[in-house]
């Protein structure tokens, strides 16, 4: 048996039938639609195989936070930590899962892509990055922990890695491929993520945070409208945490925060759009997925609804942006305040709203939920099958 055939068999055994399995993110589908539509198809297609695990873990996570809102689990920190690890594992390591899943469409090695994503989650590196010290490598800035959670960033890097891998596979001799192709792919793409794209992502996030902070200080309702409208986009970009320093500063100085209620409004918009899909769709699988992901979004776990339904169907995602903007503007207009920052941002967050503004929070959440659902229903969407 020659070396090239041996190499192909080893790679085939490692990847199984993953490349041959038809998915909604097929190359044919990739060529259709405008660039934004293709981007949405690519992102949501990468999430399709992961959705069952996300829904299961998300349900456990939601139950934990509901129990906590009623005062349970607080007396046993160890039990809470273990349960949270069970429910949050897939969300913490989501970039790794997404990187591996994206290879189904890119036609590259699943485990090389997973290794690229996993490189920034090593415990020692994570501890170093979170130590508060300035971390540099040969004088270069290093990726921040927040940037490592960016779905867009990891997909860009894995996309580049797929081209690097295919180019190397074409020009490296067959007897050397098994060692050289994955090694060089990792050597080329991981530094790009850690020392180039990651710091750039952090730089952009900091400027967005500064801009939104200025808007909240000077424009009020406009800031709520903007943040509520783009919150889902920030989550995709891995920049959902950019406002936390401002929220923490407000809590320390004033004893309350007005940004977290806007985040809650955006979460309810995801739930509303998912339920809009539930009532509009004629497809049984779509209705089932919309119901369960919408329920999770109501409970504060928005990723399954966003990646599995609203982005997948595209127009409901537009409804999410509008609903989040309307609810966010209402929250700021009526000065809705939270006394803490919650781990989830759905209905369980009501316990964190300052008593005197609790009613406004209810109305703001309803505005986001109902407007996103109604817009989804009347705007319509292509009622295609979603395999979950």
What whole-number distance in Å separates Cα of residue 52 and Cα of residue 232? 21
Choice between 170 and 73, residue whose per-residue pLDDT is larger? 170
Q: Quote the CA–CA distance of 45 and 25 in Å, as a whole number.
A: 5
| Dihedral in degrees, nearest 10, Cα atoms 312, 90, 196, 144 | 120
At CB < 8 A and 24+ separation, what contacts does 348-355 make? Answer: 348/62, 348/65, 348/66, 348/68, 348/69, 348/299, 348/300, 349/260, 349/264, 349/300, 351/69, 352/260, 353/261, 354/256
What distance in Å separates the CA atoms of residue 209 and residue 228, rounded to the nearest whole number? 14
Confidence of residue 30 (pLDDT cuts 50, 70, 90): very low
- Which pLDDT score is estimated for 7? 47
d(CA 45, CA 37): 12
Instruction: Look up tokens 């867009």; give the residue.
Output: 152
Both tokens of 341, joined, read 């920052």
Q: Which of 201-210, 239-248, 277-286 has the lowest mean pLDDT?
A: 239-248
Note whether 202 and 143 are within 8 A (CB): yes
pLDDT at 354 over 60: yes
| Minimum mean pLDDT range among 17-26, 195-204, 252-261 | 17-26
Q: Indicate the domain borders of the chain.
A: 38-205, 220-387
CA distance 315 to 45: 16
Contact in structure between 51 and 312 (CB atoms under 8 Å) = no
pLDDT tier at 33 (50, 70, 90 boundaries)?
Answer: low
Is residue 261's pLDDT more than 90?
yes
Cα separation values, 180 from 167, 172, 186, Å: 12, 8, 10
Across the chain, where does the E strand assignment appear? 136-137, 140-141
| pLDDT number for residue 24 | 42
Residue 205 in 3-state DSSP?
Answer: helix
> What is the pLDDT at residue 320?
97
Helices and strands per DSSP (H, E), number in the chain: 20, 2
pLDDT in tens, 53-101: 999 998 888 888 777 777 776 667 788 788 888 888 898 899 999 999 9
Give whichever of 56-70, 158-172, 194-208, 234-248 has the largest mean pLDDT. 158-172
CB atoms within 10 A of CB 238: 23
Phi and psi of 211, rounded to 5°? -65, -45
The torsion angle over the Cα atoms of residues 224, 253, 127 and 194, rounded to 10 degrees, is 40
pLDDT at position 25, please? 43
pLDDT bucket at 50, cuts 50 / 70 / 90: very high
- Asked if the model's pLDDT at residue 195 lies above 70, the reply is yes
Cα dihedral 14, 40, 216, 342 sign? negative
For residue 5, the model assigns a pLDDT of 46
Question: 280-329, pLDDT tens digit by residue?
Answer: 999 999 999 999 999 999 998 999 999 999 999 999 999 999 999 999 99
Cα–Cα distance for residue pair 375/195, rounded to 1 Å: 42
Q: Is the model's pLDDT at 17 over the cut of 50?
A: no
HEC per residue, 110-176: HHHHHHHHHHHHCHHHHHHHCCCCCCEECCEECCCHHHHCCHHHHHHHHHHHHHHHHHHHHHCCHHH
How high is the mean pLDDT of the chain? Answer: 84
Contact predicate 8/15, CB 8 Å: no
**Positive/negative CA dihedral, 309, 373, 57, 364:** positive
Over residues 116-135, the mean pLDDT reads: 81
Distance CA 113, CA 134 (A): 28
For residue 349, give the DSSP letter: G
Residue 20 has a pLDDT of 35
Is residue 36 within 8 A of residue 321, CB to CB? The reply is no
């Amino acid at each position: 048996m020659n070396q090239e055939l041996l190499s192909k068999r080893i790679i085939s055994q490692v990847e199984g039938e993953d490349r041959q399995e038809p998915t909604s993110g097929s190359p044919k589908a990739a060529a259709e639609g405008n660039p934004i539509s293709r981007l949405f198809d690519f992102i949501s297609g990468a999430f399709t195989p992961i959705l069952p695990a996300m829904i299961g873990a998300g349900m456990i996570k939601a139950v934990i936070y509901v129990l906590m809102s009623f005062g349970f689990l607080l007396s046993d920190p160890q039990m809470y930590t273990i349960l949270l690890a069970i429910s949050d594992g897939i969300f913490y390591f989501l970039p790794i899962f997404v990187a591996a899943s994206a290879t189904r469409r890119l036609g590259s090695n699943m485990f090389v892509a997973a290794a690229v994503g996993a490189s920034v989650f090593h415990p020692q590196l994570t501890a170093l990055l979170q130590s508060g010290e300035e971390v540099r490598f040969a004088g270069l800035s290093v990726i921040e922990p927040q940037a490592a959670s960016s779905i867009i960033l990891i997909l860009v890097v894995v996309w580049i890695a797929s081209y690097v891998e295919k180019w190397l596979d074409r020009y490296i001799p067959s007897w050397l491929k098994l060692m050289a192709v994955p090694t060089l792919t990792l050597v080329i793409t991981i530094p790009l993520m850690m020392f180039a794209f990651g710091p750039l992502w952090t730089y952009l996030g900091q400027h967005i945070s500064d801009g939104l902070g200025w808007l909240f200080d000077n424009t009020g309702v406009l800031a709520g409208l903007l943040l509520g409208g783009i919150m889902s986009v920030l989550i995709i970009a891995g920049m959902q945490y950019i406002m936390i320093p401002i929220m923490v500063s407000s809590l320390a100085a004033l004893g309350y925060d007005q940004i977290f209620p806007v985040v809650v409004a955006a979460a309810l918009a995801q739930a509303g759009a998912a339920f809009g899909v539930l009532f509009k769709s004629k497809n049984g699988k779509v209705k089932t997925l919309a119901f369960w992901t919408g329920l999770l979004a109501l409970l504060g776990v928005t990723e399954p609804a966003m990646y599995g339904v609203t982005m997948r169907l595209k127009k409901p995602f537009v409804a999410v942006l509008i609903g989040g903007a309307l609810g966010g503007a209402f929250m700021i207009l009526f000065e809705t305040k939270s006394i803490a920052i919650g781990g989830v941002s759905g209905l369980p967050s009501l316990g964190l709203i300052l008593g005197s503004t609790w009613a406004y929070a209810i109305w703001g959440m309803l505005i986001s939920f109902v407007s996103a659902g109604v817009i989804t229903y009347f705007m319509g969407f292509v009622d295609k099958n979603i395999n979950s």
